[in-house]
Amino acid sequence: MALMITAACTACDACEPVCPNKAISVGNPIYVIDALQCTECIGAEDEPQCKLVCPQDCIEPNPDFVETHEELLQKYQTMHG
């Protein structure tokens, strides 16, 4: 399942630089996660790095993009060869 950033985001910029897939970008007014690029860090890290650094705890699963661990790993491998 891809992640999403909720309205509680303060646009602190902590999450964007730690995303191994470059799935996080500046939105208006809050940061956004591209669900087609988000793998919850599967393939790169043991847990989602954005969630680790978010001081507002405003990153949660995106209910519109339900994917299995295997699907997320395959997506990561496709993006990173």
What pLDDT does residue 47 have? 97
Class of domain 3-80: alpha beta
Q: Which of 79, 75, 80, 56 is nearest to 6 (CA)?
A: 56
Determine the residue type at 19.
C
Phi, psi for residue 74 in degrees, rounded to 5: -65, -40
What pLDDT does residue 66 have? 95
pTM over 0.75: yes
What pLDDT does residue 78 have? 97
Please, what is the end-to-end C-alpha distance for the chain in angstroms? 21
pLDDT digits (tens, 9 = 90+) for 13-69: 999 999 999 999 999 999 999 999 999 999 999 999 999 999 999 999 999 999 999
Do 31 and 56 contact (CB within 8 A), yes or no?
A: no
Domain ranges (residues) in the chain: 3-80
Strand partners, 24: 33
